[in-house]
Each structure stands twice: as structure tokens, then as C-alpha cells.
């Protein structure tokens, strides 16, 4: 409810808005609502499941690499795998992804090699020259700055009359940034083919959602920009895929932007540089483990008799093998000379940087 204690109730109401909520699978895998048509394709659901399991195993390995000094700071997506996988799986190759730093699963789905992702988090810019669609954007570290870029990409699609969609992911914390609002406002005015997805994982490092916004939902922020905002169970990959597919199709067909609030929970630390136990109670995290997306889909698939323990074990072994091979390739990459950090910054390096570059090269 809007806190409207001061409104004069004698005055006529001139506008009413609503936010819908989408969910199909309950935390125990039971069906809450008639499933969308694509869900009868159990092969697709198994593919979504495999993608979520892969990224969870990959995240574990990446954190282990960081802890042993072989990777830089890393942001795991533990608990939110269904968001990135559900969204990426609804995109066409020619669409453009503008991810946040926690969307490893979306990049992997789009074809980015695991070793490219490790290279990036290992501090090697060559990880950004990745193996996925060349027009996709790299991980975005400055919070929310991918949103105006997404509006720009979508504006280009519109001007060129290309039936493509920009798909932009950011966190709940990003919704407090001017960038995100400006992008949404511009997208609404120009009815751009862009889908904004906020991964509401309840935390922005140590800032809880209640200190982030006084809005009842994040989805309703889209209403002020003139387009639909819906809230989706971000731990239900069926709901995420359905919502993203509908939004992307609509944007492609000229119906303008759409906003999806994916409600989920960050089960892990913010990054490897964080210790979440210092600011949130263990009981809260334990309670949220009961809602996580992988066990949920596994229960559903097992109930449909399309997934068994043997398949689970085979998948775990397959993921491990794939990850180990990628780690080996990553570790075998020769580091670049330190002075190359100045390359690709400017067409012509300013004097101060040129001097630093020479110094690193061993000159004076």
C-alpha cells in the first residue's frame, strides 16, 4: 500500500496501477499454476537445469582459485542462477546482453568460454575479448552504468529498424542510481526494444533492500517510466524464462520496453572480498536456502521422471571435467607484460601515462 495518509479522499482518483507476480513452481517443485507451453518440453527444462548446475560448480571453483591466490576478486551467483539462465535462454543470438558482474551464467549460456571468464576475473583484459556474441557487453562493474548503454543499444536497433532487443541486468542497489532511472525514462519515451531485469537479491553488499527503497516493489518503478513492471519469482527458472520470453518478444514486436523484478536471494558473500556473516543473521540465510532454484527444479524434474540420481552424478562429473579443463587452459595463459595495462585506453597515450608505461617497460 502507498503511504497516503495525507491524501484528500474527497478528490477523484485519476490513475490506478498494478504490479503482477509470476510464479509456477513452489520451493518443493510442486506446480502452483498452469505451466507455460514451453514447460512441456522437458528437454529444454533439463538444459536450463544443467546450466544452473554448471555455474554453481564453476562459482565454487572460482572462489577456490581466488582463495589460493590464482584469481582476483570474484562475485559468485549462488542462489540466483535462475535469473541469468532464465533470461539468457529467452534471448536470440542477435540480441545484445548487457550484464552485471554477477551474471556469469548468462555469459556462459551465450557461449562465453569458462576460461575467458576466469581470465577477466584474473585481471586480464583479454577475458573481455570473449568467445560469445561479439556485440554483447562485458561484465559491468560500475553499478547501473550498463542501463543507459542498454537504452543506447536499443535506440540504435530502433533507428536501424533491426528486430533485435537489448537485455540489461542489474541489481537492486542499481535501481537507486540515476543512470537506471534515466535509462528507463528514455526507453519509455522512445518505446525502445529493451528489457530491464533487476536481480533483487535483497542486498547491495551490506545494504538491505529496506534501506535501498521505500517502494513496495521495484517493479513499480517502471510504471513511472510508462511501461509494464512485473515481479517474478527469481528462484523459479520456469517463471524467469516465461517472463523474459514474453518481454523480449513484445519488445521485438515494437511494443516497447519491459521491466522484470526477479525476486531472489544472494546466498553467498557479496564477493570474495566480503564476509556477509558480519551483517546478516545466519537464520535468514538458512531460511532462504529452502527456496533456492536448483533443488526446486530438480524436484520438479524428478517428479516428471525425467531426472534421476544417476543423471545427477553424471552431470556433476561432466561439469567438474569441463571446469577443470578450463582452469588448466586459464592457468596456462602467459601473463601479459605489466605495461600493456596502458594499451587500448587512448588512441594516443597522454604524456603522463606514456612516461609511466616507459617506466614499467624498464626505461627511465
Ligand X SMILES: Cc1ncc(C[n+]2csc(CCOP(=O)(O)OP(=O)(O)O)c2C)c(N)n1
Site residues (vs ligand X, CB under 6 A): 100, 102, 141-143, 171-174, 199, 201, 203-205, 266, 270
> Exposure pattern of 195-229 as b/e (b: 16+ CB <10 Å)?
bbbbbbbbbbeeeebeebbeeebbbbbbbebebbb
Say if CB 210 and CB 176 are below 8 A apart.
no
Cell 531485469 found at = 197
Residue 270: name its binding partner from Mg ion, ligand X, none (Cβ under 5 to 8 Å by kind): ligand X
Q: Which stretch binds Mg ion (CB under 5 A): 98-106, 167-175, 301-309, 339-347?
A: 167-175
Contact between 76 and Mg ion per CB under 5 A: no
| Cα–Cα distance for residue pair 353/177, rounded to 1 Å | 31
Contacts (Cβ under 8 Å, ≥6 apart) of 357: 339, 342, 349
Contact between 144 and Mg ion per CB under 5 A: no
Q: How far is the CB of 360 from ligand X (least distance, A)?
A: 26
Q: Would you please indicate which residues are annotated as catalytic (active-site) residues?
A: 266, 270, 279
Q: How far is the CB of 84 from ligand X (least distance, A)?
A: 11
Per-residue x/- track, 172-191, Mg ion (CB under 5 A): x-------------------
Residue 102: name its binding partner from Mg ion, ligand X, none (Cβ under 5 to 8 Å by kind): ligand X
Contacts (Cβ under 8 Å, ≥6 apart) of 297: 25, 29, 45, 48, 49, 52, 82, 237, 238
| Cα–Cα distance for residue pair 184/138, rounded to 1 Å | 21
Say how many CA atoms lie within 13 Å of 258 toward its Cβ. 25
| Cα–Cα distance for residue pair 77/246, rounded to 1 Å | 24
Smaller CB distance to ligand X: residue 182 or 339?
A: 182
Smaller CB distance to ligand X: residue 173 or 188?
A: 173
Q: How far is the CB of 203 from Mg ion (least distance, A)?
A: 5
| Local structure of 98: helix, strand or coil | strand
Smaller CB distance to ligand X: residue 224 or 276?
A: 276
Contact between 201 and Mg ion per CB under 5 A: yes
The residue nearest ligand X at its CB is 171
Q: How far is the CB of 291 from ligand X (least distance, A)?
A: 17
Q: Site residues (CB under 5 A) for Mg ion?
A: 171-172, 201, 204
Amino acid at each position: 500500500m502507498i503511504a497516503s495518509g495525507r491524501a484528500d479522499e474527497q478528490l477523484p482518483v485519476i490513475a490506478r496501477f498494478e504490479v503482477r507476480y509470476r510464479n509456477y513452481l513452489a520451493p518443493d517443485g510442486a506446480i502452483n499454476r498452469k505451466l507455460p507451453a514451453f514447460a512441456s518440453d522437458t528437454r529444454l527444462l533439463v538444459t536450463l537445469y544443467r546450466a544452473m548446475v554448471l555455474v554453481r560448480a564453476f562459482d565454487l571453483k572460482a572462489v577456490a582459485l581466488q582463495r589460493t591466490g590464482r584469481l582476483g576478486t570474484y562475485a559468485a551467483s549462488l542462489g540466483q542462477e535462475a535469473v541469468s539462465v532464465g533470461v539468457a535462454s529467452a534471448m536470440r543470438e542477435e540480441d545484445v546482453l548487457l550484464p552485471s558482474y554477477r551474471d556469469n551464467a548468462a555469459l556462459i549460456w551465450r557461449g562465453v568460454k569458462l576460461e575467458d571468464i576466469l581470465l577477466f576475473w584474473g585481471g586480464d583484459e583479454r577475458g573481455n575479448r570473449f568467445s560469445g556474441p561479439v556485440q554483447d557487453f562485458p561484465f559491468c562493474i560500475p553499478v547501473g552504468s550498463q542501463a543507459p548503454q542498454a537504452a543506447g543499444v536499443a535506440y540504435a536497433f530502433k533507428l536501424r529498424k533491426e528486430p533485435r532487443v537489448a537485455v540489461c541486468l542489474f541489481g537492486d542497489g542499481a535501481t537507486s542510481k540515476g543512470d537506471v532511472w534515466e535509462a528507463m525514462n528514455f526507453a519509455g519515451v522512445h518505446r525502445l526494444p529493451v528489457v530491464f531485469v533487476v536481480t533483487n537479491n535483497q542486498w547491495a553488499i551490506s545494504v538491505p533492500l529496506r534501506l535501498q527503497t521505500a517502494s513496495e516493489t521495484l517493479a513499480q518503478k517502471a510504471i513511472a517510466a510508462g511501461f509494464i513492471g512485473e515481479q517474478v519469482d527469481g528462484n523459479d527458472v520456469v517463471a524467469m524464462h516465461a517472463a523474459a520470453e514474453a518481454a523480449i518478444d513484445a519488445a521485438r514486436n515494437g511494443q516497447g520496453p519491459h521491466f522484470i523484478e526477479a525476486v531472489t536471494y544472494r546466498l553467498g558473500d557479496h564477493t570474495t572480498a566480503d564476509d556477509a556473516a558480519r551483517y546478516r543473521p545466519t537464520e535468514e540465510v538458512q531460511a532462504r536456502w529452502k527456496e533456492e532454484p536448483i533443488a526446486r527444479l530438480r524436484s520438479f524434474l524428478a517428479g516428471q521422471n525425467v531426472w534421476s540420481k544417476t543423471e545427477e552424478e553424471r552431470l556433476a562429473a561432466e561439469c567438474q571435467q569441463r571446469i577443470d579443463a578450463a582452469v588448466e587452459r586459464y592457468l596456462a595463459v602467459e601473463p601479459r607484460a605489466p605495461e600493456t595495462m596502458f594499451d587500448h585506453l587512448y588512441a594516443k597515450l597522454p604524456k603522463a601515462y606514456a612516461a609511466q608505461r616507459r617506466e614499467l617497460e624498464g626505461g627511465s
